[in-house]
Amino acid sequence: MKKSVFVASSLLVLACGDSKDQEGQVDQHSVLEDVNVDAVDTTLDPNEYPTFSFASLQKPYEDAASCIAYAASKGDTTDRTICQCNKCLENLQECDVLQGCGEIKACSNETGCDDEYSCYLLPGAPCVDVIDRWGNASVAVSVSIDLLDCSKLNKCQ
């Protein structure tokens, strides 16, 4: 990935450099001919960019009834969560094993925001600080968006 970024930025520098034709215009075609794009290594090192597998995590509960009991033990007895336990069990299991996702879900429940726009992207969105704490492109955020989507689809909002 870093090599790709380096190559892309190098191409930009080359294209914007001093290679000008007789009229003083940048001759981008001749500059880019010298770059062998096929020789660029774009493979990812799994040690540098590890993958995430939910199969490696223990589920916090197995079925809707134990999901509802788990939520109640955390002080969450909202109709929204009960509906999510019944209609979005897999999404909720994934969310509840990720600390960041649980915080994002709690913020959404407390404020009533129900998608990435109302929770984060719109001016004055209520969950910006929580989402930024976990990284707005993190697994926790991705799973929380999936949960919100499932929740909307099943009218749990």
Asked if residue 97 is part of any domain, the answer here is: yes
Which residues are bridge partners to 20 per DSSP? 26
Are 16 and 76 in a shared domain?
no
Give the C-alpha separation, 140 to 144, whole Å. Answer: 6
Are 17 and 91 in a shared domain?
no
pLDDT in tens, 66-95: 999 999 999 999 999 999 999 999 999 999
Q: Is-contact 126 113, C-beta < 8 A?
A: yes
Give the count of domains, the chain. 2
Asked if residue 101 is part of any domain, the answer here is: yes
Asked if residue 104 is part of any domain, the answer here is: yes
Asked if residue 44 is part of any domain, the answer here is: no
pLDDT in tens, 5-17: 333 333 334 444 4
pLDDT in tens, 123-134: 999 999 999 999
Q: What confidence category does residue 22 fall into, taking pLDDT thresholds of 50, 70 and 90?
A: low
Q: Show the domain range for 61.
A: 56-153
Over the range 117-127, which residues count as b (16 or more CB within 10 Å of their CB) and which as e?
Answer: ebbbeeeebbb
pTM of the predicted structure, to 2 decimals: 0.67
Asked if residue 49 is part of any domain, the answer here is: no
Asked if residue 48 is part of any domain, the answer here is: no
Question: What is the arithmetic mean of pLDDT over 107-117?
Answer: 93
